[in-house]
């Protein structure tokens, strides 16, 4: 009987440790964008606000980011979006065939770009999939960060709420938030080719 209790205790503690490890991963943010945003090479669309997002099409967290962006675009007609999908120069066509890429192409007021080797992400200082920059009508950066509450988690989050408040002419709860997603590059500056 004691062996059974011991086995159950070991199983319980191992399970608890595994769940704790998963929770720590889910809520561990990626590397934030560099403070100095250089966006001169990005296109300028008509509209009051312009949202620029960088996504890794193979990152499992990207669907949550796209879900939040969809809600933002549905709730805010004053906003246009540009999504830059990382694609390695040696990547096959399956990079463009991801569901998240196809879903992004169907969004209203959204333009999708292939970001070869993450060149635009590097220029903007974006390091993590899901990084969002919001610019006002004067092309001034008014928000940067992520729009999910954790890796792959959809729901109330500071980033989405801040963007919606800014677009509605209200004071946002923050002008920056943490980004949860796969790395777009490693510390050496070489772009990631897989999550």
Name the β-bridge partners of 134.
51, 143
Domain that holds residue 17: 1-30
What's the pLDDT band for 14 if we cut at 50, 70, 90? low
**pLDDT value for 190:** 40
Structure tokens at 168: 């509605």
157, pLDDT greater than 70: yes
User: What is the pTM for the complete model shown?
Assistant: 0.75
Tens digits of per-residue pLDDT, 78-124?
899 999 999 887 766 777 888 999 999 999 999 999 998 899 999 99
Tell me whether residue 120 is in a domain. Answer: yes
At residue 19, φ and ψ (nearest 5 deg) are -65, -40
Distance, CA of 49 to CA of 134 (rounded, Å): 7
Q: Cβ neighbours of residue 161 under 8 Å, at least 6 residues apart?
A: 172, 173
Rounded to the nearest integer, the mean pLDDT of the chain is 78
Tell me whether residue 75 is in a domain. Answer: yes
Same domain? For 83 and 111 the reply is: yes
Report the 3 state secondary structure along 87-106: ECCCCCHHHCCCHHHHHHHC
Tell me whether residue 93 is in a domain. Answer: yes
Which of 21-25, 27-31, 124-128 shows the lowest mean pLDDT across its residues? 21-25
Count of domains forming the chain = 2
For the stretch 153-159, contacts whose Cβ atoms lie closer than 8 Å and that sit 24 or more positions apart, written own/partner, are 153/26, 153/64, 153/180, 154/64, 154/67, 154/68, 157/68, 159/68, 159/132
Element (H, E) at 47: none
At residue 54, φ and ψ (nearest 5 deg) are -115, 125
CATH label of the domain that carries residue 67: 3.40.30.10
Listed in order, strand segments (DSSP E) in the chain are 49-55, 79-87, 110-116, 131-135, 141-145
């Amino acid at each position: 009987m004691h062996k059974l209790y011991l086995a159950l205790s070991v199983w319980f503690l191992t399970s608890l440790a595994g769940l704790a490890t998963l929770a720590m991963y889910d809520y561990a943010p990626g590397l934030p964008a560099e403070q100095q945003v250089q966006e001169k090479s990005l296109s300028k669309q008509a509209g009051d606000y312009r949202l620029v997002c960088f996504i890794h099409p193979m990152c499992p967290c990207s669907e949550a980011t796209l879900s939040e962006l969809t809600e933002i675009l549905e709730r805010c007609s004053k906003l246009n979006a540009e999504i830059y999908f990382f694609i390695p120069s040696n990547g096959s066509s399956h990079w463009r065939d991801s569901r998240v890429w196809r879903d992004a192409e169907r969004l209203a007021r959204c333009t999708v770009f292939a970001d070869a080797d993450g060149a635009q992400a590097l220029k903007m200082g974006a390091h993590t999939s899901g990084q969002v920059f919001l610019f006002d009508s004067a092309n001034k950066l008014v928000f940067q960060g992520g729009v999910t509450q954790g890796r792959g988690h959809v729901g109330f989050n500071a980033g989405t709420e801040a963007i919606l408040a800014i677009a509605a002419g209200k004071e946002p709860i923050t002008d920056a938030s943490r980004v949860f997603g796969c790395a777009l590059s490693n510390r050496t500056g070489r772009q990631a080719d897989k999550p």
